[in-house]
Amino acid sequence: MMWKKLKDRFRVDDYFEGKVDAYDTVGFSGWAYNRKSPNSPVDIEIYDSSTLIGTIKADTYRKDLERSEIGNGCHAFRFNFPLDFVDKKNHEISVKIANSNYFLKDSPFTVNIPTDIDFISIDITNNCNLRCPFCLVDRKGAINTDFMSLETFKKILVFLPYLPVASFYLSCLHEPTLHPDLAKFLEIIPQHWRNRVFFTTNLAANLTDDTFIAMSKSGIHHINISVDTLNPTLYPKLRKGGIYKRFISNIERLTSIFSKEPHAPELHFITVALKSNMNEIPEIVAQCAKKYLAVSHEVRYPFNVNSIDDVWRKDNFITEETDWDIIENSLKDTTANYVLCRPPDNYYDAFASSVDYYETGQNHVQATPPEKPIQLRIDYKGIIRVLTREEHFYVNINILNDPLKLFSAFS
């Protein structure tokens, strides 16, 4: 009985042949065919443990296969791992010919894609169109508005495959929509790695439908939109320099365009909770979910940075625990997906440093490697810094022939 089962199993599979040739952190290649019908390419199934993660036809021509008299030579394939494989976990990959029990030689194999970098936060400009009084960036010295070049951006993109999903800030501290080539930047991100990328915007600039169309088709993971108020009187006080009507026009056009694009990036919202907007927060969260396609909403305490004006801080920061309780309770009935980030204990007793400008141009790599995982910041000029070790490590990506070799400086 057992023998018959084995015979049944191998009767057909005896004609199959195939092999996994090589794998790396991006994917693997191999070949397979049916000796009995070499002109009909076989389908390959790829499993992560027992989960089918993809099917691919082994029909690519390879000279070495033809030379080795492997069918007609058109039996090779290449498979790229799904984006969520960059997770430091072991993946047991089995590769078999579809509708058979034939597993390719050198399968299964184990891949573990390391990600020693937590995130990379870049900024494609160094300024903002607004001057919000709570901004965590000290803008006192900000006069010029400079932009990252396409060449610098292209160099930075080599890091993308080594990052987890949604961990590449295309922009973080400043306002990305000021960059005249934002659409072009989005376009040149390799398709396969686009879901590493996101950015945050105030949606306060004069933005065209074309920009929103480019964003909607960009394939990036998400866009954070800052909405601290939907009240036209309060808006220019919190978003100093912003025009309420323009902001509303932007958000309405953007969401209308995104709603028509099935693969548009997710929209996440950020609201900084202050005395002046605290009563409005449930309404902001509800409206962003109902009207503005919010997938998630972060309501956060303002980071207590030392560049915020003392009087403004005193008048606007919510310092009473009971007020935070009120906000927490007021959000309980909402059906929207939100997270409320309350300040830690004794938070208002100490200042965090504001984020400064990084204008020095010297290139410098210190010998001591930083602790892992590493968090990198790259400014518009291409200067890479390791967060929390800013004084010890910085180098301009433009002087590096192979930026990936930088990783060896960290190991």
Ligand X SMILES: C[S@@+](CC[C@H](N)C(=O)[O-])C[C@H]1O[C@@H](n2cnc3c(N)ncnc32)[C@H](O)[C@@H]1O
Residues between 103 and 162 with contacts to ligand X, criterion CB under 6 A:
128, 134-137
* CB-nearer residue toward ligand X: 117 or 238: 238
**147: Cβ–Cβ under 8 A, 6 or more apart, which residues?**
124, 125, 178, 179, 180, 181, 380
One residue of 121, 167, 202, 255 binding ligand SF4 per CB under 6 A? 202
- 8-state DSSP, 357: P
Taking the alpha carbons at both ends of the chain, their separation in whole angstroms is: 56
Q: Is the peptide bond before 108 cis (omega within 30 degrees of 0)?
A: yes
Residue 131, contacted partner among ligand X, ligand SF4, none, CB below 5-8 A by kind: ligand SF4
* CB-nearer residue toward ligand SF4: 14 or 315: 315
* CB-nearer residue toward ligand SF4: 204 or 327: 204
* CB-nearer residue toward ligand X: 51 or 144: 144
- Residue type at 226 in one-letter notation: S
* CB-nearer residue toward ligand X: 94 or 307: 307
* 58-64-70-75 Cα dihedral, nearest 10 degrees: 10
Give me Rg for the CA atoms of the chain. 26
Examine residue 379 and tell whether it contacts ligand SF4 (CB under 6 A): no
* CB-nearer residue toward ligand SF4: 135 or 251: 135
Burial, 391: exposed, middle or buried (Cβ in 10 Å; 0-12, 13-18, 19+)?
Answer: exposed
Q: Are 41 and 30 in contact (CB under 8 A)?
A: no
Residue 243, contacted partner among ligand SF4, ligand X, none, CB below 5-8 A by kind: none
Distance of CA 59 to the CA centre of its chain: 33
Residues between 160 and 199 with contacts to ligand X, criterion CB under 6 A:
173, 175
- Rounded Cα–Cα distance for residues 201 and 172 (Å): 9
Examine residue 380 and tell whether it contacts ligand X (CB under 6 A): no
Residues between 300 and 329 with contacts to ligand X, criterion CB under 6 A:
300, 302-303, 305
Structure-token match 């990252």, residue found: 148
SS3 of 152, please? helix
Examine residue 336 and tell whether it contacts ligand SF4 (CB under 6 A): no
Within 10 angstroms of residue 78's Cβ, the number of other Cβ atoms is 14
Examine residue 223 and tell whether it contacts ligand SF4 (CB under 6 A): no
- 8-state DSSP, 117: E
One residue of 126, 152, 200, 216 binding ligand X per CB under 6 A? 200
Q: Give the tokens for residue 120.
A: 């990379």
Residues between 87 and 146 with contacts to ligand SF4, criterion CB under 6 A:
128, 130-132, 135, 137
Q: Give the tokens for residue 53.
A: 């993660």
For the bound state, the minimum distance from the C-beta of residue 205 to ligand SF4, rounded and expressed in Å, comes to 10
For the bound state, the minimum distance from the C-beta of residue 275 to ligand X, rounded and expressed in Å, comes to 14
- Note the residue count of the chain: 411
For the bound state, the minimum distance from the C-beta of residue 243 to ligand SF4, rounded and expressed in Å, comes to 13
- Rounded Cα–Cα distance for residues 241 and 382 (Å): 28
Examine residue 226 and tell whether it contacts ligand X (CB under 6 A): yes
* CB-nearer residue toward ligand X: 48 or 175: 175
Examine residue 251 and tell whether it contacts ligand X (CB under 6 A): no
* CB-nearer residue toward ligand SF4: 64 or 359: 359
Between the CA of residue 15 and those of 9, 37, 69, 409, what are the distances in Å?
12, 9, 15, 50
Residue 302, contacted partner among ligand X, ligand SF4, none, CB below 5-8 A by kind: ligand X
Q: Which residues here bind ligand X, judged by CB under 6 A?
A: 128, 134-137, 173, 175, 200-202, 226, 270, 272, 300, 302-303, 305
Q: Which residues here bind ligand SF4, judged by CB under 6 A?
A: 128, 130-132, 135, 137, 174-175, 202
